[in-house]
Amino acid sequence: MPRTLQVSLPCGLSRTQGVVVRDAVIKKMKGRVQKDISELSAAKNPNVSEIYNALLQACVESVGEKPGTSLLFEQLTFGDRDWLLFEAVKLMKGETPRYTVKCDRHDVEIDVEGFDLSDLPVTGIADEAALWLNVASGEALTVAEWEVQGGVPEKTVRVFCLENADLGTRALFTYPKGMHQKRLNRITEDNVKVIWTLMSSTCMHWKDEERDVRAPNGGFKPDFWGDVDLDALQWAQAAFADALPGMDTDITVECPEGHEFNVKVSATDFLFSAQTQTS
Ligand SMILES: [Zn+2]
Domains in the chain: boundaries: 4-123+247-271, 127-243
pLDDT for the residue 59: 93
pLDDT for the residue 279: 46
Distance 252 CA to ligand 1 centre (A): 12
Give the C-alpha separation, 117 to 121, whole Å.
Answer: 9
Give the C-alpha separation, 160 to 171, whole Å.
Answer: 8
Give the C-alpha separation, 134 to 158, whole Å.
Answer: 9
The pairing of strands 66-67 and 204-206 is: unpaired
Cβ contact 247:117 at 8 Å: no
pLDDT for the residue 144: 86
Q: The whole model's pTM is what?
A: 0.84
For 142-152, the pLDDT digits (tens) are 888 888 988 88
pLDDT surpassing 70 at residue 188: no
Give the C-alpha separation, 224 to 204, whole Å.
Answer: 11
Distance 90 CA to ligand 1 centre (A): 28
Distance 41 CA to ligand 1 centre (A): 29
Q: Identify the three-state secondary structure at position 14.
A: strand
- Percent of the chain scoring above 90 in pLDDT: 23
pLDDT surpassing 50 at residue 56: yes
pLDDT for the residue 277: 47
pLDDT for the residue 276: 47
pLDDT for the residue 140: 86
Distance 1 CA to ligand 1 centre (A): 37
Distance 87 CA to ligand 1 centre (A): 30
pLDDT for the residue 192: 63
Distance 112 CA to ligand 1 centre (A): 13
Closest CA to 203 of 165, 235, 230, 241: 241
Distance 277 CA to ligand 1 centre (A): 13
Give the C-alpha separation, 95 to 128, whole Å.
Answer: 31
pLDDT for the residue 58: 92
Helical ranges in the chain per DSSP H:
31-41, 48-59, 70-74, 78-93, 143-148, 180-184, 192-203, 224-227, 230-243, 267-271
Name the DSSP class of 120. Answer: S
Distance 38 CA to ligand 1 centre (A): 29
Distance 260 CA to ligand 1 centre (A): 7
For 216-259, the pLDDT digits (tens) are 776 667 677 777 778 887 888 888 888 888 888 889 999 999 99
pLDDT surpassing 70 at residue 102: yes
Cβ contact 119:9 at 8 Å: no
Between 147 and 127, the higher pLDDT residue: 147
